[in-house]
Amino acid sequence: MDTKAISEVLGERFDVAAGDGSRALKELGLPADAATLDVGTGSGNFAIYLASQGYRVITGEPSTDTSQYAGRDWALNAEKAGVLDRIRFEAFDASKLPFEAGAFDAVFFFGVLHHIDEGVRSEVFREALRVLKENGAVVFFEPRTEMLERVRVDDPGHPPAANPSNYLHDQNVREQRIEGALMDIFLYRKSA
Ligand SMILES: C[S@@+](CC[C@H](N)C(=O)[O-])C[C@H]1O[C@@H](n2cnc3c(N)ncnc32)[C@H](O)[C@@H]1O
C-alpha cells in the first residue's frame, strides 16, 4: 500500500505523520536498510509511516502509561496498513532506553516530547543520542499552533509544544529546523 492508500484507511493523523515525516526523511537520506527507533508508539502513525517507507522499526512507550495517548491499537492499524511485519514493539521509558549505544540510524519522536515529564526531558535527549550511530540523527516533531488547536478540540488540557533545544546539553550536536505543514521538525546530528 502506498501512503495515500494508508491515509484512506487510517485517516487524518496518519496523513500528518506522512506529510511532515516525508520532509524529514528527504533531509536525512537514510540508507534503505536503516534501523529506526520510534519513541512513543501511541496509535502507531509514525511507526507505520516509517515501515511504509521500507524501514525496520522498533517502537515503544512505557507499559505504565495510563494516559489516553498510550496503549492504543497500533498493531491493528499496522496490520490494516500491511506493514505489521516490519514493526517490533517493545515497552520502554525513553529516559532509560533498553538498547546498546550506536544501535540506530535515526531516532524519531513524533508528537511525543511534550508528553514526557519535563524533569526527565534532558535525560531522554541524552539517551536518544547515546543509542544513535555516529552519523545518525535524532528528529523531534512538535505541534505547530494549528495542530495544537485541532488536538485541543478533543483534549482541551493538551500540553503546549516543547522546544527540544531547551533539553540539549551536548555542544557537539548541531540542530537544523524544518517548518512542516502541521509540525515543527527539529533535527539533531552529532558533529564530525
Ligand atoms: C501523542 S502519543 C504519540 C503519537 C505517535 N507517535 C503516533 O505517531 O501515533 C504520545 C506518546 O508518548 C509516549 N510517552 C510519554 N512518556 C514517555 C516516555 N517517558 N517514554 C516513552 N514514551 C513516552 C506515550 O506513551 C504515547 O505513546
Side-chain-facing half-sphere of 169: CA atoms under 13 Å: 9
Query: How does residue 191 score in pLDDT terms, banded at 50, 70 and 90?
Result: confident
Contact of 177 with 187, CB cutoff 8 Å: yes
Distance of CA 53 from the midpoint of ligand 1 (Å): 21
Point out the ligand 1 atom lying closest to the alpha carbon of residue 74.
9
pLDDT of residue 28: 96
CA of 38 to the centre of ligand 1 (A): 9
pLDDT of residue 171: 87
Distance (angstroms) between ligand 1 centre and the Cα of 42 equals: 5
Within 10 A of 11 (CB to CB), how many other CB atoms are there?
A: 13
pLDDT band at 118 (very low <50, low <70, confident <90, very high): very high
Please give the number of the atom of ligand 1 that sits closest to the Cα of 41.
27
Closest to 7 measured CA to CA, from 80, 48, 15: 15
Task: Determine the pLDDT at residue 3.
Answer: 93
The answer to whether the predicted template modeling score (pTM) of the entire model surpasses 0.75 is yes
User: pLDDT value at position 192?
Assistant: 67
- The three cell numbers of residue 120 are 526527565
CA 161 to ligand 1 center in whole angstroms: 14
pLDDT score at 17? 98
* Res 175 pLDDT > 70: yes
CB-based contact 21:3 (threshold 8 Å): no
What would the pLDDT profile of 119-165 be if each residue is shown by its tens digit? Answer: 999 999 999 999 999 999 999 999 999 999 999 999 999 999 999 99
Measure the CA–CA gap between 92 and 98, rounded to whole angstroms: 7
C-alpha–C-alpha distance, residues 169 and 123, integer Å: 10
Query: How would you class 145 by CB atoms within 10 Å of its CB: exposed for 0-12, middle for 13-18, buried for 19 or more?
Result: exposed
Question: Whose Cα sits closest to atom 14 in ligand 1?
Answer: 40
Taking the CA of residue 93 as reference, the ligand 1 atom at the shortest distance is 20
In this structure, the residues whose C-beta lies within 6 A of any atom of ligand 1 are 17, 39-46, 61-62, 65, 69-70, 93-95, 110-112, 115-116
In percent, the amount of the chain with pLDDT more than 90 equals 95
How many whole angstroms from 115 Cα to the centroid of ligand 1? 7
Give the percent of the chain with pLDDT over 70.
99
Mean of pLDDT values over 47-62: 98
Which domains occur in the chain, in start order? 3-190 (3.40.50.150)
